[in-house]
Structure 1
Amino acid sequence: MPEFTSRRGLLFGTAAVGAGALLTGCTSNESSDEPASNDQPAADDKPGKPVTIGFAGPQADHGWLNAINDNAKNRAKKYKDVTLEITEGSNDTAQQIGQIETLINKKVDVLVVLPADGKALTQVGLQAMRAGIPVVNLDRIFNSPQAYRCWIGGDNYGMGLNAGHYIGEKLKDKKNARVIELAGLDNLELTKQRTQGFDAALKNYPNIKKVARQAAEFTVESGQAKMSQLLQAQSKFDALWNHDDDQGVGALRAIDQAGRDDFLMVGGAGALSAFQAIKADDGVLKATVLYPPTMAASAIDLARALGQGKGVGGLAEFEIPASLTLYSAVVDKENVDQYMPTGFK
């Protein structure tokens, strides 16, 4: 994820600390230097024009996706002027399209959509926009910018880039260093982007060679099975990057069962269990690279601002931006306490 600096860095770069740190307030001209936690009230919680927000996401069958739903619900509760219409969530694209069409027919003021498949749901995004309902496209992007008013999400390429640089700096003085990668679902574009970013970072370290890559399925079970295969195939390596902290739970089980502690591990996403392991510092997991689910809370902020015809506090523009890319911070023992409140289960 691209790194922002100065005031813009304060506004966007610390998003993972809490949605309030991403958007200091969609209508407020005041800012705060204090990072916000998920429990803090929204910066601009003074009631305004009532807004009904329709929220449609995929089935919460994964820790990160469940955190997405929780962030959206909890953020909406902080606003007295927001009514949240939330769908049950589905990984079936036809069913999710039907759920969104129901929200369109209800004439919600704004839609927040995390599509199970961005390409497959582009048409229903276009349908909402043509009906005069602005769409906040969350994370998995629609194929056409005409299908959304604003996109907010993570930077998968930057996630891999930052993981690679972290590992690179740890191994830069080691001759003939070897690294392996436990990726996610290879049929997802985000997985390919994470690998591309990781490989790009490693090119800066000629002493490091990636010797193996295995794709898992973002589940504990797949993480354990695929990590076992990697450990059997690679008797010696110096670092592992695992794309996802949920599958990392299984990966760590496999590592413990194999009795291996001769390498460092970097995770991905920002699960509470990963933060706790990093803080304990008694195993191979030394860091994780964030893909903050607080983006859903910020999507509610943006939807409310759109519904009330307001902009983002801290920016000169009258309108909210067309896109917001969150920064994928590296969390290690030095800063884990700061991010601990944002860890998802």
Structure 2
Amino acid sequence: MSHSNRWIVKVLAVAMMILVVASGGCRKKDDRPTVALVMKSLANEFFKTMEEGARAHHAEHKDQYNLEVRGIKDETDVTQQIAYVELMMAQGVDAIVIAPADSKALVAVCKKAMDAGIVVVNIDNKFDDEVLRDKKVRIPFVGPDNRKGARLAGVYLATRLNPGDKVAIIEGAPNAYNGIQRKAGFEDAMIGSSMNIAASQTGYWETDKAQPIASALINEHPDLKALLCANDSMALGAVAALRDAGKSDDIYVVGFDNIAAVQRLLKEGRILCTVDQHADKLALYGIQYALDILAGKATPADKETPVDLVTAEML
């Protein structure tokens, strides 16, 4: 390289250093913590509402924190949800607020995040207590008492039935704590009201999976009086099955989540009741709690959030 070319290279290098230093000096360091909201299926209206609530809260509090949002494509894509937690760790977020697709399978990766210094808050679907003990980790749960909510709906249904009437339960995913608790709440109410639980099968939270199950239950039990569904997506499948069977007026449908599509069906009398766990606020409770922990204003502990019965008369 000639002397003149070397001189030009040196000048350019110095100029680049000046630009880098100047830009760094002008840029204000972002001290806001970053919170990642990792949800279940965004195909479920409940989680879309949760996302909208979180984004609205962030829009009003942008000066307090940054927000990252991730959601899987279907309710059972546990592998993808684990990958999202790993991604958030790699991006260096300060807190992860997670509605786990599986109450057991997500514990290990969340412990890994906590070991890396990330605050983890569990919302919506509680982690399995036995797995938490086995992993020697405490992750605070911020969410409703799902058993109590399902029991509210079941007790309301019982006012429309007679002792001994046949009912069936369409459950959530088998490894989801909230699904297990909702089934238990339905059972509490039905057994306590002397109803006959003729069958209980999982619909894995999804409309398309619940519809054929509801159809089979209707055919197997022609004297069935009610279908208690562990979420509203599955209640939509039950409504479709009843419509196809010409039994929309003969069998009650109970849901859980209070999504917009079900509110319309409540008004039409095609769904008897649902349960509102306030999806638009549920993520906010978790995000605010994570921010409080980061700021040293709170120590990790479970916090129960509201759950309410919703009927057509309440809309």
Under TM normalisation by the shorter chain, which class is it? 0.7 to 0.9
| Shift, 1:241, TM fit | 1.3
**Aligned equivalent of 2:276:** 290
| Shift, 1:95, TM fit | 4.5
Query: Which of residues 122, 142, 146 in structure 2 aligns to 1:137?
Result: 122
| Shift, 1:105, TM fit | 4.0
Structure 1 residues 201 and 119: CA distance shift in structure 2, 3 A? same
What stretches of structure 2 of length at least 5 have no aligned partner? 1-30
The answer to whether 1:117 aligns with 2:117 is no
In structure 2, C-alpha distance between the alignment counterparts of 1:263 and 1:249, rounded to whole Å: 14
Structure 1 residues 148 and 187: CA distance shift in structure 2, 3 A? closer
Query: Which of residues 214, 229, 234 in structure 1 aligns to 2:216?
Result: 229
In structure 2, C-alpha distance between the alignment counterparts of 1:182 and 1:58, rounded to whole Å: 19
Structure 1 residues 131 and 185: CA distance shift in structure 2, 3 A? closer
| Shift, 1:79, TM fit | 0.6
Contact 1:183 1:216 in 2 (8 A): yes
In structure 2, C-alpha distance between the alignment counterparts of 1:279 and 1:332, rounded to whole Å: 8
Paired amino acid for 2:102: D
Contact 2:110 2:120 in 1 (8 A): yes
Query: Which of residues 298, 310, 313 in structure 2 aligns to 1:331?
Result: 310
| Shift, 1:149, TM fit | 5.0
**Aligned equivalent of 1:247:** 234
Larger of the two Rg values belongs to structure: 2
| Shift, 1:170, TM fit | 2.9
Q: Using CA pairs below 8 Å that are at least 6 residues apart, which structure has the higher relative contact order?
A: 1
**Aligned equivalent of 2:3:** none
In structure 2, C-alpha distance between the alignment counterparts of 1:92 and 1:249, rounded to whole Å: 21
Contact 1:76 1:300 in 2 (8 A): no
> Over residues 204-235 of structure 1, what are the superposed CA-to-partner deviations in whole Å (9 max), with x where a residue is unaligned?
223x2222333323222222211111221222
| Stretch deviating more after TM superposition (188-197 or 139-148) | 139-148
> Secondary structure at the residue paired with 2:286?
helix
The answer to whether 1:265 aligns with 2:253 is yes
**Aligned equivalent of 1:256:** 243
In structure 2, C-alpha distance between the alignment counterparts of 1:94 and 1:214, rounded to whole Å: 24
The answer to whether 1:84 aligns with 2:63 is no
| Shift, 1:154, TM fit | 3.2
Contact 1:110 1:306 in 2 (8 A): no
* Mapping for residues 202-213 of structure 1, pairs under 5 Å: 202-206=190-194, 208-213=195-200
In structure 1, C-alpha distance between the alignment counterparts of 2:305 and 2:95, rounded to whole Å: 22
| Shift, 1:93, TM fit | 4.3
The answer to whether 1:100 aligns with 2:85 is yes
- Structure with the higher helix share, 1 or 2: 2
Contact 1:52 1:108 in 2 (8 A): yes
| Shift, 1:175, TM fit | 4.9
> Secondary structure at the residue paired with 2:160?
helix
Contact 2:211 2:234 in 1 (8 A): yes
Paired amino acid for 1:286: L
> Secondary structure at the residue paired with 2:156?
helix
**Aligned equivalent of 1:192:** 180
Paired amino acid for 1:245: D
Q: TM-score of the superposition, structure 2-length normalised?
A: 0.76
The answer to whether 1:68 aligns with 2:37 is no
Structure 1 residues 53 and 147: CA distance shift in structure 2, 3 A? farther
| Stretch deviating more after TM superposition (138-147 or 262-271) | 138-147
| Shift, 1:238, TM fit | 2.8
Structure 1 residues 150 and 267: CA distance shift in structure 2, 3 A? same
What stretches of structure 1 of length at least 5 have no aligned partner? 1-48, 311-318, 337-345
**Aligned equivalent of 1:165:** 155
Paired amino acid for 2:199: A
| Shift, 1:92, TM fit | 4.8
Structure 1 residues 86 and 195: CA distance shift in structure 2, 3 A? closer
| Stretch deviating more after TM superposition (86-95 or 132-141) | 86-95
Percent of pairs identical after alignment?
Answer: 27
Contact 1:136 1:148 in 2 (8 A): no
**Aligned equivalent of 1:21:** none
Q: TM-score of the superposition, structure 1-length normalised?
A: 0.70
In structure 2, C-alpha distance between the alignment counterparts of 1:230 and 1:167, rounded to whole Å: 18
Paired amino acid for 1:163: A
Contact 1:118 1:141 in 2 (8 A): yes
| Shift, 1:129, TM fit | 2.3
In structure 2, C-alpha distance between the alignment counterparts of 1:92 and 1:134, rounded to whole Å: 23
| Stretch deviating more after TM superposition (242-251 or 105-114) | 105-114
The answer to whether 1:180 aligns with 2:168 is yes
Structure 1 residues 92 and 250: CA distance shift in structure 2, 3 A? closer
Structure 1 residues 100 and 183: CA distance shift in structure 2, 3 A? closer
